[in-house]
Amino acid sequence: MMFPKLFIPGPTNVRQEVLAEQTHPMIGHRTSTFEDLFARVQEKLRRLFYTQSRVYVTASSGTGLQEAAIRNTVRDRVLVMVNGAFSQRWFNVAVGCDKEVVRVDIPWGRAVKPEDVLQAIERDGPFDAVAVVHNETSTGVMSPVGDIARAVREMAPDTFILVDAVSSLGGVRIPVDEWGLDVCLTSSQKAMALPPGLAFAAVSDRVLERAQEVKGRGWYFDFLNLEKYLQRNTTPATPAISLFWALDRQLDIMFAEGLEARFARHARLAEMTRTWAVEQGFTLFAEEGYASPTVTCVENTRGISVADLNTFLQQRGMTISNGYGNLKEKTFRIAHMGETTESDMMTLFESINTWLAGQA
């Protein structure tokens, strides 16, 4: 069976040595071996998230922590900024948690700006929290969450800031404490270049205070429960132990590259991809100045068959993503996150160019 190189926005390619970490013999999770592993990983995660507080690790995908963020911080009312498919999902999650949800729609392809959030708070506030997706994977747009957080903290300091960084964390610098994010969540299978199955959330101290007065936190994702066990270097329920070994190794690989170098590589690959797309006569879907460093959404202005292109690429051992939902065939997405290199991108562009030349 051939496994294509992935240029899709998750899951991303995982290094063989990281995959291999999962083959350690099984251990019990109430052992000092696991607690040592947990403690090691916790320290490294705090470094990656630029936080002194804590990073919970759950055996779930990122959506689980979208739900946790709502359940632990929202007493009654939450504002959700919707500018793509994953912020729309977060809205649905909040509705599913039976909260009073105010939704602000921003056209797909555009970023959420501080003024959008401030206007919504002025018009419909107060809110217990505002939820924003940092990097909309469906449209290739990155919103300025640092600026948003600063503006919200000034105008409405009791409105907690919930950030989904599922397709950016690990590829872009997100200084959680400096920006004052209350919850910043991500998944393992994107820019962190791990298999799916783990999710991570940096959580501020004031969230733990708030959680005490929020009803219906559930159990599995109750931050107070996760905190109690984190203090003992473990988790309330059985963790995904094999993935923890892989995580420990992958974090070392990230630090060996250097976080700043890693972020710079993502920026370079994004720039290469945008330049290539424009040179080939396509336009970019993202609003200028807000294009994502981890995934590029290309507008299919040449009217190619994206499905046919992908079939061709798959024969050559690689795969890209069609547009998301209604954007299928109208756009296509090329991810450049995780462990992807310049030479991977060159190989991809050469192949796409060959296919395009044959379409004339």
- Nearest approach, Cβ of 133 to ligand PLP (angstroms)? 5
- Nearest approach, Cβ of 164 to ligand PLP (angstroms)? 5
Three-point CA angle 70, 83, 272, nearest 5°: 115
* Biggest alpha carbon–alpha carbon distance for the chain: 64
Binding string, residues 165-194; x marks residues near ligand PLP by CB under 6 A: -xx-------------------x-------
Q: Which is nearer to ligand PLP, 148 or 156 (CB)?
A: 148
Q: Between residue 68 and residue 97, which ones bind ligand PLP under the rule CB under 6 A?
A: 86
Is 243 a binding residue for ligand PLP by CB under 6 A? The answer is no
- Give the binding range for ligand PLP (CB under 6 A) out of 99-107, 132-140, 247-255, 273-281: 132-140
Strands (E), the chain: 5-6, 55-58, 77-82, 100-105, 129-133, 135-136, 141-142, 160-164, 183-187, 199-203, 283-284, 295-299, 318-319, 321-322, 331-335
Q: Between residue 252 and residue 291, which ones bind ligand PLP under the rule CB under 6 A?
A: none
Number of residues that bind ligand PLP (CB under 6 A): 12
Is 164 a binding residue for ligand PLP by CB under 6 A? The answer is yes
Three-point CA angle 322, 328, 331, nearest 5°: 70
Is 293 a binding residue for ligand PLP by CB under 6 A? The answer is no
Contact 133, 100 (CB under 8 A): no
Q: Between residue 36 and residue 65, which ones bind ligand PLP under the rule CB under 6 A?
A: 61-63
- Nearest approach, Cβ of 333 to ligand PLP (angstroms)? 11
**What DSSP string describes 207-264?**
HHHHHTT-S---STT-HHHHHHHHTTTS-SS---HHHHHHHHHHHHHHHHH-HHHHHH
Name the site residues for ligand PLP (rule: CB under 6 A).
10, 61-63, 86, 133, 135, 137, 164, 166-167, 187
